[in-house]
């Protein structure tokens, strides 16, 4: 069985690509970091990969709002073939493949209209803007998983502890109708919560004041997943801010970081899907 292939986009101020590639490699996939220009110039095709990843960073310095410039570039830029890159992304999804966006990558996805896309017209329905605190938030938060979420990225996870690093992480939903559809379709897959797992709007447990206390969204199929916290930044126990005490209290504690589970989930899901398809086509 061939290895799952993860494409990790970089360039224009994205700066979390190495962590993203590292966690995929730990999860059993083959990860490749590619500059977005190499895709635009036809040197690399997204269709050679199973998962397209938009990592965190500060694309174009967040000068016109986080992720806005690069999302427009990706939505309207033509490839060497003269095909719009955005149309190539749609074709990629139609092949049953997956997209992950973290932090700045989540901002790309919502501003391109890929998330939550409740109206199925790929137009922007939500935005991510300045935190209620008025400052950059660099802290660890508890996040509750919506038990009805459809995305395989979150299978078997109830609650997770991850770092946030953002100045514009507050999710604002365009109107009440879209908000109701997000809730009804269970696309608000992650919510900020307290240590006990109870959803909260209280700062700093909710670091930005998002509508629905939302920390992440999926589309209806669950194939597109975006979140503000950084799962790739907790790939080892030793990333935890209090790892030494955890280790003393329980010497047998797992040395895997909680974020690694998200990547193992999607890699294992694709392996199982490919195995099932191979079995169907075998003589």
DSSP 82-118: S-BHHHHHHHHHHTT-EEEEETHHHHHHHHHT-SS-T
DSSP character at residue 239: G
**Rounded Cα distance, 283 and 278, in Å:** 10
Task: Please state, in angstroms and as integers, the Cα–Cα distance from residue 59 to each residue in 35, 98, 158, 169, 183, following that order.
Answer: 13, 22, 32, 15, 30
**Rounded Cα distance, 255 and 234, in Å:** 11
- What Rg, from alpha-carbon coordinates, does the chain have? 18
Known catalytic residue: 196? no
Which one of the listed residues 142, 166, 223, 230 is annotated catalytic? 230
Known catalytic residue: 176? no
Which one of the listed residues 103, 189, 193, 214 is annotated catalytic? 103
Alpha helix (H) residue ranges in the chain = 17-26, 36-40, 68-76, 85-94, 104-112, 176-184, 243-249, 260-281
**Residue 226, strand partner residues:** 101, 217
Known catalytic residue: 214? no
Which one of the listed residues 17, 125, 137, 232 is annotated catalytic? 232
**Rounded Cα distance, 56 and 67, in Å:** 10
Burial readout 217-251 (b: 16 or more C-beta within 10 A, e: otherwise): bbbeebbbbbbbbbbbbbbbbebbeeeeeeeeeee
DSSP character at residue 203: T
| Pairing label, strands 159-166, 137-145 | antiparallel
What residues act catalytically?
103, 230, 232
């Amino acid at each position: 069985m061939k290895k799952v292939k993860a494409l990790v986009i970089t360039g224009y101020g994205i700066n979390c690509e190495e962590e993203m590639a590292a966690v995929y490699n730990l999860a059993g996939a083959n990860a490749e970091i590619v500059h977005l220009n190499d895709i635009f110039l036809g040197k690399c095709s997204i269709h050679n990969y199973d998962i397209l990843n938009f990592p965190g960073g500060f694309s174009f310095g967040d000068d016109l709002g986080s992720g806005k410039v690069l999302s427009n570039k990706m939505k309207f830029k033509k490839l060497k073939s003269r095909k719009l890159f955005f149309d190539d992304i749609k074709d990629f999804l139609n092949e049953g493949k997956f997209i992950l966006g973290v932090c700045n990558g989540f901002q790309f996805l919502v501003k391109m209209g890929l998330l939550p896309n409740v109206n199925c017209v790929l137009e922007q329905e939500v935005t991510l803007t300045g935190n209620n605190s008025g400052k950059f938030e660099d802290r660890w938060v508890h996040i509750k998983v919506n038990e009805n979420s459809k995305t395989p990225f979150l299978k078997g996870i109830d609650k997770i502890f991850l770092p946030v690093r953002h100045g514009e992480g507050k999710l604002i939903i365009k109107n009440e109708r879209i908000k109701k559809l997000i809730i009804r379709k269970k696309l608000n897959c992650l919510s900020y919560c307290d240590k006990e797992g109870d959803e909260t709007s209280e700062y700093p447990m909710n670091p930005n004041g998002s509508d629905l206390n939302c920390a992440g969204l999926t589309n209806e199929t669950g194939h597109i997943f975006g979140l503000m916290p950084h799962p790739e930044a907790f790939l080892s126990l030793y990333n935890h801010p209090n790892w030494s005490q955890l280790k003393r209290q329980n010497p047998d504690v797992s040395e895997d970081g909680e974020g690694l589970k998200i990547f193992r989930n999607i890699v294992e899901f694709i392996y199982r899907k490919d195995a099932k398809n191979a079995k169907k086509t075998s003589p």
